[in-house]
Amino acid sequence: MKKNGDDKRCLSDEAYRLIDKEIAKYPEGQKKSAVIAALAIAQREKGFVDHSIESEIASYLEMEEISVREILTFYNMFNKENTGKYKIAVCTNLPCALRNSRYTVNFLKEFLEIEVGETTKDGLFTLLEGECFGACADAPVLLLNNDEMHSWMDETKCKTLISNLKEERLVE
């Protein structure tokens, strides 16, 4: 629970309420078991987990900062800095690579006019390479915003996806 004097904290009361709910799922003295959930809650609220949020979570869960960083850097669904509204990760592991995922990455680089790791000037798209998403039969696979899988992503399907996302933005 957030206490008086905690006004400098990066996360909202609601985020702490959700983190407390996660902590309550584990035995007394095992707050750190809620670390992945806490990082996910922070990312949902802020869009990324930077150094200050990382330290705050470490202190709240009574963990060493390095332990939180190890988790944060192991899972590539965590954003260490702000990303575009749509984070596109193309799997480049072997089964996807054998089905031309490198071509998909190169096509998206050219189409969006950015390099891997960059965000388009309008702040809409960030392009990343990802590790196996467990859907190798659908290769090449692309993951949108960590939770929406897109299969068999050739040039035509990539163009359709990007244009649908742009239109989605226009109707908001």
The rounded distance, in Å, linking the Cα atoms of 172 and 170 is 6
**Residues contacting 98, CB < 8 A, separation 6+:** 139
The rounded distance, in Å, linking the Cα atoms of 50 and 92 is 26
Binding of ligand FES by 96 (CB under 6 A):
yes
Number of Cβ within a 10 Å radius of residue 13: 11
Amino acid making up residue 10:
C
| Of 50, 52, 56, residue with least CA distance to 15 | 56
Binding of ligand FES by 91 (CB under 6 A):
yes
Binding of ligand FES by 144 (CB under 6 A):
no
Q: How far is the CB of 142 from ligand FES (least distance, A)?
A: 9
Options 95, 111, 116, 146; binder of ligand FES; rule CB under 6 A: 95
Options 114, 136, 144, 165; binder of ligand FES; rule CB under 6 A: 136
Per CB under 6 A, the segment of 3-11, 68-76, 115-123, 134-142 that binds ligand FES is 134-142
Size of the site for ligand FES (CB under 6 A): 10
The alpha carbon dihedral of 53, 148, 109, 86 has a sign of negative
Tokens linked to 39: 């990082």
Q: How far is the CB of 150 from ligand FES (least distance, A)?
A: 11
Binding of ligand FES by 37 (CB under 6 A):
no
Binding of ligand FES by 128 (CB under 6 A):
no
Q: How far is the CB of 132 from ligand FES (least distance, A)?
A: 3
Return the number of the residue (31 or 150) whose C-beta is nearest ligand FES. 150
Q: How far is CA 78 from each of CA 46, 57, 72, 73, 152, rounded to the nearest angstrom?
A: 11, 14, 6, 8, 24
Q: Under the rule (CB under 6 A), what is the footprint of ligand FES?
A: 91, 93, 95-96, 132-133, 135-136, 139, 141
